[in-house]
Amino acid sequence: MHRGLGHYVKKGYGGSATATRRMGGTAQTAEALYSALSSGPGNTSGVPGNTLDPALTAGRSADEVMDAVVEAVRPVDGTQDAEASRTSIKDALAEVLNQFPDADLLNLQPEHRELAVEQFVAADVFRRIDLDIGRTIREKAPNAVIGLGRLKEVREYVRQTVSASFRHLRSAGQRLAAGRITQIVQSAIRETFQVFEGYVE
């Protein structure tokens, strides 16, 4: 798996720098997600009449609120990237509620917003890999069960590596904050791909 991810970054994209640029949309979506999950004047999605207007979301189920956040952050545009990101956003929000069942998605604590962004990035990086080479992984497996198992292993490894990249950035004093989301997320993605690229050096 390590060697395969290394070749994916090194040969498929020509290195971690190019792979990181290819994921530029993920960083921009992460910033939009952070904003949508923030309270205050910076969140234009929450103003009266918009998608996340408290008057429109009051009384909705968690699933309906997650769908509203997805629509606010990544509207449908017919591209594979958009569909992948929409699924990644919902998965990230579901993970926040899994870890913090009492969390209010439209009034999250800062650490919960950070978790949502981190989980989104991990999910989106994996979905990019799946779109690029997932079919090959499934076709080269002896059977469908093993193929799905290998993809699950890749997904978990990507999640762990992305989380480690965010932890490293936090330890260096680079925390997620309004106005710096895109930069921090790009750094985390770059560190993740550098780890993968290192497997074939």
State both tokens at 193. 């791909």
Q: Which residue in 187, 196, 197 sits closest to 23, CA to CA?
A: 187
Report which residue type is found at 201.
Answer: E
Distance CA 98, CA 103 (A): 9
pLDDT tens per residue across span 63-112: 999 999 999 999 999 898 899 999 999 999 999 999 999 998 888 888 99
Position 85 scores a pLDDT of 95
Answer whether residue 177 shows pLDDT above 60.
Answer: yes
pLDDT tens per residue across span 25-63: 999 999 999 988 987 555 666 566 667 877 677 788 889
pLDDT category, 188, cuts 50, 70, 90? Answer: very high
Distance CA 166, CA 128 (A): 19
Distance CA 102, CA 79 (A): 34
Answer whether residue 201 shows pLDDT above 70.
Answer: no
CB 178 within 8 A of CB 34: yes
Q: Which DSSP letter does residue 45 get?
A: G
Q: What is the pTM of this model?
A: 0.89
Q: Residue range 171-187: average pLDDT?
A: 88
Answer whether residue 168 shows pLDDT above 60.
Answer: yes
Position 40 scores a pLDDT of 59
Structural domain of 35: 2-200
Q: 3-state class of 188 per DSSP?
A: helix
Q: Residue range 133-161: average pLDDT?
A: 92
Position 58 scores a pLDDT of 78
Q: What end-to-end distance do the CA atoms of the chain give, in Å?
A: 15
Distance CA 70, CA 124 (A): 14
Position 199 scores a pLDDT of 85
pLDDT category, 163, cuts 50, 70, 90? Answer: very high
Position 25 scores a pLDDT of 92
Split into its structural domains, the chain has a count of 1
Q: Share the mean pLDDT of the chain.
A: 89
